[in-house]
Chains A and B, each alone.
Chain A
Amino acid sequence: MDNYQLTHLKELESEAIYVLREVAAQFERPVLLFSGGKDSIVLVHLSRKAFYPASIPFPLLHIDTGHNFPETLDFRDWLAKSVNARLLVGSVQESIDSGRAVEEKGINASRNVLQTVTLLDAIEKNKFDAAIGGARRDEEKARAKERFFSHRDEFGQWDPKNQRPELWYMFNGKKRMGEHFRVFPISNWTEMDVWQYILAENIDLPSIYFTHERDVFYRDGVWLAAAPFMEMKPTEKVEYRRVRCRTVGDISCTGLTLSTADTVEDIIQEIAATRVTERGGRYDDKRSEAAMEDRKKEGYF
């Protein structure tokens, strides 16, 4: 009977498709939060599979900090077009210009935290009742506590100590007016699962995931991309190096890895041998032990 056991990738895929269909069935106005990173690209791929031969029954929403890698934005536009999905963009710059968000100052300034304001505004304005995200439980310790269907109150806040129990595969998406859900179909995937799946399904990725040459500088154990808005300390100097992104956020918080990997196979080998977690290179997580927990409680991705 052994051939009736699915492989781990097939089982994870089936689980994610089930969750996506549950979103479409339970909510009136779902949206897929698209960051341009590999996890949300996998989510788009899974959504396409879940509803085939119909098209994806929800739009994509990108929260643009204004500090994104141009490759990410080009890829985003191409992908939305190729799957025939509606693309909405929430602009952090607009939130700053209208006074809804205040730009951080100083050396470690980032618009990462400001995204929460823009995201919650976009959810409220469009009356989205479920926002699908590519967060995974293996990424970070606060995310390890997430449900598939994660309730948010009318202020967009997460209450990790008082979550609804989630039993079997029955997802309780009931809510009051003004509240919404965050839904995480690939909760149970690890970084390795995502890459193996990208390989198995032959999924296209933005070029920044593969090795390329770029101006970078070194800070607190992380390589960061040099850009006009990145303020540098006098001791830091720009170098031209062969790098790639292991995760993709905006330029201010994405750590780059020195790497010559230029195929998905190379990347899988690199990850299998690496001894540092994926988010080890994320500058936004380095702010404190509970940086992610605090942001999530306020309504971050």
Chain B
Amino acid sequence: MELLRFTTAGSVDDGKSTLIGRLLYDSKSIFEDQLDAVRRASVQKGSEHLNLALFTDGLRAEREQGITIDVAYRYFATPQRKFIIADTPGHIQYTRNMVTGASTANAAIVLIDARNGVIEQTHRHAFLASLLGIPHIIVCINKMDLMDYSQDVYIAILNDFQAFANQVFPDQDMRFIPISALKGDNVVKPSENMPWYTGGTLLHHLETIPISQDHDLVHQRFPVQYVIRPESDEFHDYRGYAGRVAGGFFHPGDRVVILPSHLESEIASVDTYGKALSEAHPPMSVTLTLKDDLDISRGDMIAGIEDFPEESCNIDAMICWMNPRPMQIQGKYALKHTTRDVRCLIHSIDYVLNISTLEKLTENKTLRMNDIARIRIRTTKPLFFDPYKVNRITGSLILIDEATNETVAAGMIL
């Protein structure tokens, strides 16, 4: 069974929580005691129907205010796949949560309220999904029941969205589904109300989207996470480099280069607990041993000998700012990239992006919470990276405020 991670994006009242509740309910992933609790709460709140949205509320404040504050993770499985849902809030002030949920997702569901069509928030959500490199976007046009299940309404919204998408992310894999989360049309069960749609239910798409190509299987990348030295009699001279394969395939006998030293060696073994492997690929956690005794530590990278990542202290990146304290130009931050910790200086802002109009504001020199901008960073030590478009692991970074220790920005290297 494979694992698919997906995220949901929609504005307030687009029916996002209802959709997730519907997926869980119709796929029989809800237990009796959860159902009882939601039944009781629905009655208490005076809902006519079983309020499916209540399945996804977590914190007390969320139940009180009827909103989602933070990313919540949900799980369900069908005989085909296991699913992890990152349920992210749709409020504008919570863009950081959406970016968080999107960063590890294979697919994003973008919800559109059929009554409102494509609105500013839709652009924002679709753009973020694409910026975060989510391989598959599923656009669900929801509340079709309130528009008489009209094909014309669906087509108009689809065309509207596609016009925007062609301009912004022409190569993105996209699918469109007309649904009613409340009534259950095309979520798990095919809709009898929309015979004109034959493209498969949402669950069908989630079960069948091909995901084996979502990792970078081309460029050999192994960020060293931890050095294993048993210092025992049995493994006296053992020195293993533990980590998670970030790209490509690693085999015993492969010639590799170590960064930053640029020393070359050969892989002696690909180890796991009690068993040596003939091959490792993303996202496996393994331990590599090398033929030569070299000085290698956490933050170094083992890469293919004719296939280096880029190596530089000057980084151009798109970043999403996530902290109430605005970014300080010329300010210093801690930077994490793969397993490497460095410090950096914000050199300059190229432009701040208006993600509703996609206008590049070059005059704007402040970056506030939830803003997206292209910036230049200078690091104290070089990073070994690939463009984010090529590899989401070696192409991503985070910035940390050294005064508060808070994670303040997510960066995608260009």
Q: Which residues of A contact B (CB under 8 A)?
A: 1-2, 4-8, 10-15, 17-18, 21-22, 24-25, 48-55, 137-138, 141-142, 144-145, 160-161, 163-170, 172, 174-176, 187-188, 190, 192-193, 274-277, 280, 289-290, 293
A188 lies within 8 A of B84 (CB): yes
| C-alpha gap A137/B97 in the complex (Å) | 17
Given contacts A8-B1, A144-B72, A169-B104, contact A18 B225 (CB under 8 A): yes
User: Shortest CB–CB separation between residue B34 and chain A, in angstroms?
Assistant: 6
B100 lies within 8 A of A289 (CB): no
Contacts of A163 in B (CB 8 A): 70
| C-alpha gap A160/B235 in the complex (Å) | 44
Q: A137-B75, A169-B393, A174-B334 are in contact. List 5 more A-B contacts (CB 8 A).
A: A4-B217, A49-B273, A55-B230, A167-B396, A167-B398
Q: Interface-forming stretch among B143-151, B279-287, B349-357?
A: B279-287
| C-alpha gap A96/B206 in the complex (Å) | 52
18 residue pairs bridging A and B, Cβ less than 8 Å apart: A1-B217, A5-B2, A7-B1, A21-B285, A49-B273, A53-B230, A53-B238, A54-B230, A138-B74, A161-B61, A163-B70, A164-B407, A168-B104, A175-B405, A188-B84, A277-B34, A280-B32, A280-B33
A53 lies within 8 A of B285 (CB): no
Which of A7, A52, A187, A293 is packed against the most chain B CB atoms within 10 Å? Answer: A52
| C-alpha gap A4/B284 in the complex (Å) | 10
| C-alpha gap A271/B119 in the complex (Å) | 44
- What total of chain B residues lie within 8 Å of the partner, measured CB to CB? 76
B232 lies within 8 A of A53 (CB): yes
Contacts of A160 in B (CB 8 A): 59, 69-70
B31 lies within 8 A of A8 (CB): no
A168 lies within 8 A of B285 (CB): no
Contacts of B97 in A (CB 8 A): 165
User: Shortest CB–CB separation between residue B280 and chain A, in angstroms?
Assistant: 10
Q: Does B272 contact A (CB under 8 A)?
A: yes
B213, B231, B285, B339: the one within 8 Å of A14 (CB):
B285
| C-alpha gap A24/B407 in the complex (Å) | 20
Q: Does B73 contact A (CB under 8 A)?
A: yes
Q: Which residues of B contact A (CB under 8 A)?
A: 1-3, 31-34, 37, 57-61, 63, 69-75, 77, 81-82, 84, 96-97, 99-100, 103-104, 211-213, 215, 217, 225-226, 228-232, 234-235, 238, 240, 242-244, 271-274, 281, 283-285, 287, 298, 322, 334, 336-339, 392-393, 396-398, 400, 405-407, 410
User: Shortest CB–CB separation between residue A32 and chain B, in angstroms?
Assistant: 16
Which of B99, B285, B406 is packed against the most chain A CB atoms within 10 Å? Answer: B285
A18, A49, A167, A280: the one within 8 Å of B99 (CB):
A167
A15, A50, A193: the one within 8 Å of B242 (CB):
A50
A24 lies within 8 A of B211 (CB): no
Counting from the closest, the 5 A-B pairs by CB-CB distance are A49-B273, A54-B230, A17-B285, A174-B405, A8-B3
User: Shortest CB–CB separation between residue A56 and chain B, in angstroms?
Assistant: 11
Which of B104, B392, B393 is packed against the most chain A CB atoms within 10 Å? Answer: B104
User: Shortest CB–CB separation between residue A104 and chain B, in angstroms?
Assistant: 23
A275 lies within 8 A of B31 (CB): yes
Contacts of A137 in B (CB 8 A): 72-73, 75
A12, A142, A187: the one within 8 Å of B59 (CB):
A142
Contacts of A188 in B (CB 8 A): 73, 75, 84
B57 lies within 8 A of A277 (CB): no
B339's nearest neighbour on chain A, judged by CB, is A25
A18 lies within 8 A of B244 (CB): yes
B31, B84, B212: the one within 8 Å of A4 (CB):
B212
B322 lies within 8 A of A11 (CB): no
